[in-house]
């Protein structure tokens, strides 16, 4: 069994009445028009930020677009629209927005981060690594760049390079919230597991569990224990994973296969049946059919009495 391994200053003038009267008599100048467009662009930009924060990503894209119609060189609007596009799954559009933002402001580290995320989601991992590396040239202590570069290295099976990046992310991240540290330890553990460094992987998953026990850390530590040949510890971890997510078909499947290896036939059948139900309800039809095939192989043949 193999485990499958996000100043505004207002000044009230005492001459406001006089200024208002004058505006009725004088046509707006070119400078006044530019100032009005700039104010309108900032207003749309603020609305885009508010929409993004409320997770209304389509509205955010629209508002950032309105800001850019008022000011085509508004770099922050391009960069923030990129991030909203990522949440909508429009990765190529997101990269395009960041390209434009960086042409206007080549030293903006947040835009390099956003473009790296967009490239990663578009499965353009080499380009993502280049973006995170460029960010680190400007801002060498940004743990996010190390962590995300590690994720891209993992996708390219460059596990040793990924482990180095995850380690640097942990060094640069302090102080960092416990959940974020757990994520980094879990991903470094996965890279170790791909290299079959079970002891190091178990240490990382255990550290992740200490910071923030969750499904991923328990499940992956269970895989590492199973690779080590420690079926009892693996069984315990898969059970812990299922306590955190009772609808996880893969955890039921893994636990069922281990129980079968240990000779616990009825418990194994129960787990595999539960795994099949989970896969079916989630629309994972290939996994569902494969689990049914396993059940047919291990269920005892009932003798017909005639």
Per-residue pLDDT, averaged over 54-59, amounts to: 96
Tokens standing for 301? 């043949």
Nearest to 3 by CA among 182, 228, 169: 228
- Tell me the pLDDT of the chain averaged across its residues: 86
Domain annotation for the chain: domains and CATH numbers: 39-122 (1.25.40.10), 140-234 (1.25.40.10), 246-299 (no CATH)
Query: Which range is least confidently modeled, 7-21, 157-171, 218-232, 238-252?
Result: 7-21
| Of 21-30, 209-218, 269-278, the least confident | 21-30
Query: What are the φ and ψ backbone dihedral angles of 126, each rounded to 5 degrees?
Result: -60, -45
Banded model confidence at residue 178, pLDDT cuts 50, 70, 90: confident
Dihedral of alpha carbons 227, 228, 233, 237, sign: negative
For residue 2, pLDDT over 70 is answered with no
Q: Quick one: DSSP state of residue 251? A: H
Tokens representing 282 are: 């989630």
Q: How confident is the model at residue 206 (pLDDT cuts 50, 70, 90)?
A: very high
116 close to 125: Cβ distance less than 8 angstroms: no
- % of residues, the chain, pLDDT over 90: 80
Name the band, by pLDDT with cuts 50, 70 and 90, for residue 176.
Answer: confident
pLDDT at 44 over 70: yes
Does position 174 have pLDDT exceeding 90, yes or no? no
Residues in the chain: 306
pLDDT(202) > 90: yes
Percent of the chain with pLDDT over 70: 85
**pLDDT band at 38, cuts 50/70/90?**
low
pLDDT over 90 (residue 9): no
Picking from 65-69, 223-227, 235-239, 301-305, which range would have the lowest pLDDT averaged per residue? 301-305
DSSP string, 153-222: HHHTT-HHHHHHHHHHHHHHH-S--HHHHHHHHHHHHHHHHHTT-HHHHHHHHHHHHHH---HHHHHHHH
114 DSSP 8-state letter:
H
Tell me, what's the pLDDT at 3? 56
Which one has a higher pLDDT value, 14 or 263?
Answer: 263
Contacts of 70 (CB under 8 A, 6+ apart): 37, 38, 40, 41, 44
pLDDT value, residue 205: 97
Share of the chain residues as helix, strand and coil, in percent rounded to the nearest 5:
75, 0, 25
Q: In this model, does residue 112 exceed pLDDT 70?
A: yes
Task: Judge if pTM exceeds 0.85.
Answer: no
b or e along 64-101 (b: 16 or more beta carbons within 10 Å of the residue's beta carbon)? Answer: bbbbbebbeebbbbbbbbbbbbbbeebbebbbbbbebb
161-175, 193-207, 244-258: least confident range: 161-175
- 134-149 pLDDT, tens digit per residue, is 999 999 999 999 999 9
- Angle value at C-alpha 87, between 242 and 176, nearest 5 degrees: 65
Q: For residue 45, give both structure tokens.
A: 């930009």
Higher-scoring residue by pLDDT: 212, 13? 212
């Amino acid at each position: 069994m193999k485990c499958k391994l996000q100043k505004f200053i207002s000044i009230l003038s005492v001459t406001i009445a006089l200024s208002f009267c004058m505006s009725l008599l004088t046509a707006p100048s070119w400078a006044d028009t530019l100032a009005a467009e700039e104010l309108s662009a900032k207003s749309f930009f603020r609305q885009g930020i508010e929409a993004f924060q409320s997770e209304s990503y389509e509205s955010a894209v629209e508002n950032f677009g309105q800001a850019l119609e008022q000011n085509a060189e508004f770099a922050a609007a391009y960069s923030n629209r990129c991030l909203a596009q990522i949440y909508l799954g429009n990765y190529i559009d997101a990269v395009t927005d960041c390209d434009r933002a960086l042409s206007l402001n080549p030293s903006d580290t947040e835009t390099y981060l956003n473009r790296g995320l967009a490239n990663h989601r578009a499965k353009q991992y080499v380009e993502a690594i280049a973006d995170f590396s460029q960010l680190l040239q400007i801002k060498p202590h940004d743990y996010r760049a190390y962590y995300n570069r590690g994720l891209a290295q993992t996708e390219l099976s460059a596990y040793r390079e990924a482990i180095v990046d995850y380690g640097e992310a942990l060094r640069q991240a302090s102080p960092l919230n416990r959940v974020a540290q757990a994520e980094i330890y879990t991903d470094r553990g996965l890279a170790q597991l791909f290299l079959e460094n079970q002891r190091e992987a178990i240490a990382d998953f255990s550290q992740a569990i200490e910071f923030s026990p969750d499904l991923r850390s328990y499940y992956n530590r269970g895989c590492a224990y199973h690779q080590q040949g420690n079926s009892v510890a693996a069984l315990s971890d898969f059970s812990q994973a299922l306590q955190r997510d009772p609808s996880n078909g893969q955890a039921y499947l893994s636990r069922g296969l281990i129980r079968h290896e240990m000779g616990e036939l009825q418990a194994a059948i129960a787990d595999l049946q539960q795994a099949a139900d989970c896969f079916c309800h989630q629309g994972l039809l290939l996994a569902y059919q494969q689990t049914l095939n396993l059940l047919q192989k291990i269920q005892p043949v009932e003798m017909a009495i005639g």
